[in-house]
Amino acid sequence: MGKIKEAKPVKLIMGVIACCAGTAEEAEGLLVKKFGSIDARSAVTPFGFTDYYENEMGKNLLRVWISFEKLVDPQELAGIKTETNKIEEKLSVGVGFIRPEGAGLINQAPAKKRRVNLDPGYIDGGKLVLASTKNYSHRIYLSKGIYAEVTLIFEKSAFRPLAWTYPDYKSVTALDFLVKARSRYLAQLKKA
């Protein structure tokens, strides 16, 4: 029988896709208030991997990854994702009204346009785990309507993609940033 052990703390990272640099900075400010100081940031790159967000967020999106100084308990990931969803909502802007088909003026609801997408996850010594609101065959339910997936595994001194790894997480910018975040994480564990 295996011996039950408490999980080690993990390094919180955040993938940020934003409509512009100002929105990315605004999101970072709110993230710092919620999760503490940022200890590293990747280069900001154009997000041209997919047009998935174009209808909702526009064209010419920017992509950046950040990591946080404070280590977290991995079981906090579902709560972190619900908090980042609230930040996305807060940074959304009104664009008019949605009227369900056949509804009168009373049933109209304000429409919002998302300006930022926040993908929280964590790094431990062997993997990158991301949170998602969407279920799929390779995702495991956590709680609060949130699922987790192992997005990258660390082997032979590098992060390796899996069949479902998003293209931007395979990019040189992402992989370089994540390897450095992992090194900082391992150094933090030694000090703890």
Closest CA to 14 of 126, 129, 93, 150: 129
Q: Look at residue 105 in the predicted model and tell me its pLDDT.
A: 52
Q: Where are the chain's structural domains?
A: 10-191
| Cut 0.85: pTM above it | yes
Over residues 121-180, the pLDDT tens digits come to: 999 999 999 999 999 999 999 999 999 999 999 999 999 999 999 999 999 999 999 999
- For residues 129 and 72, give the distance between their C-alpha atoms in angstroms, rounded to a whole number: 13
- For residues 155 and 68, give the distance between their C-alpha atoms in angstroms, rounded to a whole number: 23
Over residues 28-69, the pLDDT tens digits come to: 999 999 999 999 999 999 998 888 899 889 999 999 999 999
Residue 102: CB atoms within 10 A of its CB come to 6
Over residues 78-95, the pLDDT tens digits come to: 999 999 999 999 999 875
Q: Look at residue 97 in the predicted model and tell me its pLDDT.
A: 47
Residue with token string 């409509």: 19
Distance, first Cα to last Cα, the chain: 29
